[in-house]
Each structure stands twice: as structure tokens, then as C-alpha cells.
Amino acid sequence: MSFFITPAYAAGGQPAGGGFELIIMMVVFAAIFYFMIFRPQSKRAKEQRNLLKSLSKGDEVITSGGLIGRITKISDDNDYIQLSLSEDTTIVIKKDFISAVLPKGTLKSI
């Protein structure tokens, strides 16, 4: 029966692991956290900030809610954009809701 189960010894067994293994494990965990979670998220946030800075009048954009329109007015002082959805429909949204800039002529092809 002792063939499958290793015997446990109360005294004189394996010494307990030192603090060095714990430090190495924490460093590896921190590196994985940085490269898998923090770094990609900060890259996406930086790309979104650059996208919002590059917006100009006449750009065709899509919002996070799925609305597609053309920018008709940008307010620099309060971060709002006037978006024309069609010739007679305009809305005012916050800049943060812009998710992508579409190529020119997208609205005419839809």
C-alpha cells in the first residue's frame, strides 16, 4: 500500500521553504500582471486620448452606442461635440463616447 502513498515524517522531514522562493514568486506574478493587464490597458487609453485630440469638424465617427454621424461642431471648453446623424437630425454628445473615426465617404455609402 505504501507503493502509491508516500510516507509522512513528523520530524526530520523536508525543511520549510525560505522567504527567497516567495519573493521570486511575487516578482514573477507582478511581471505577469504588468505585461498581461496593465500595459495593454494603458496602451488602449493612450490611443483613445490621441483619437479624441485628433477629432476635427467634418470627420465621420461612430459612437460607443452605435450611432454614425458627421461632426458639425466641437466645443473645446466643455468637451462636447455636435454630431449630425442626417440632414435634419443633430445631437450633442460628450467626446468620450466617440469610439472610432470612419473613413471619408462612409455615410454616403450606407
Tens of pLDDT, residues 72-104: 999 878 889 999 999 999 999 999 999 999 999
Asked if residue 27 and residue 38 are part of one domain, the reply reads yes
Asked if residue 100 and residue 61 are part of one domain, the reply reads yes
Q: What whole-number distance in Å separates Cα of residue 53 and Cα of residue 106? A: 21
| Percentage of residues of the chain with pLDDT beyond 70 | 85
Q: Cα Rg for the chain, rounded, in angstroms? A: 28
Torsion angle of the four alpha carbons 28, 34, 36, 38, in this order, in degrees rounded to the nearest 10: 160
Asked if residue 36 and residue 23 are part of one domain, the reply reads yes
Q: Give the predicted TM-score (pTM) of the model.
A: 0.66
Non-local CB neighbours of 103 within 8 Å, separated by 6+ positions: 60
Among 109, 28, 72, residue whose Cα is nearest residue 93:
72
Asked if residue 65 and residue 83 are part of one domain, the reply reads yes
Cβ–Cβ < 8 Å for 70, 84: yes
Domain count, the chain: 2
Asked if residue 60 and residue 103 are part of one domain, the reply reads yes
What would the grid cell of residue 85 be?
446623424
In a domain, 93, yes or no: yes
In a domain, 50, yes or no: yes
